[in-house]
Amino acid sequence: MDESFLGAARAAVEPYRHLIAGDLLAGFLCCKGVPGPAEQAGGAICSGEDGIALAKAAVALGYGEGSFAAIDVAGLPPGDLRIIIEAIDPAVVVSVDPPAREVVSQALGTSLPVYGELVRAAGRRFLAVDSFEESLVSDEAKRRSWHQLKAARRKPVD
């Protein structure tokens, strides 16, 4: 990858780095608007069981080991989120709770998507998952979330 592009991407996200966890060139970018227990205890975004599960999901969906990042979008203006998304340039943006779904939709200039249906917005693949962290408490809810996440499978490059 072009070093000048990497430098520009890093510079664009630097003011927001405290809101981002993971790979700044991630293919699978999760946006979270509701802090869970790990974040409430002072941990980075998606540093709890939800982050472990989402990173594993990214691998299972074809994005590769380490191609995962998460952004804390609570209180983040949609325009700022758009800057971060464009700088990271992920293959897919996944909102993992209703507040994140709303701000990502605004950032990408689209209406609220149906949970589990992949949409294209502003040249991006965008998937909304309903309350991912809360789904980790029961097998049925985990299956529902996994079903929704499968819409984000990595497509082979032609």
Residue 8, domain extent: 3-152
The count of structural domains within the chain is 1
Question: Is residue 158, in this structure, part of any structural domain at all?
Answer: no
Q: Report the CATH number at residue 88.
A: 3.40.470.10
pLDDT (tens, 9 = 90+) of the chain, 158 residues, equals 566 766 777 788 889 999 999 988 899 999 999 999 999 999 999 999 999 999 999 999 999 888 999 999 999 999 999 999 999 999 999 999 999 999 999 999 999 999 999 999 999 999 999 999 889 999 999 999 999 999 999 875 44
Which residue in this structure is represented by tokens 């149906």? 114
Phi/psi at 28 (5° precision)? -120, 105
Question: Is residue 51, in this structure, part of any structural domain at all?
Answer: yes
Residue 135, CB-side half-sphere exposure with 13 Å CA sphere: 20
C-alpha distances out from residue 141 to 66, 117, 122, 138, 145, Å: 25, 17, 30, 5, 6
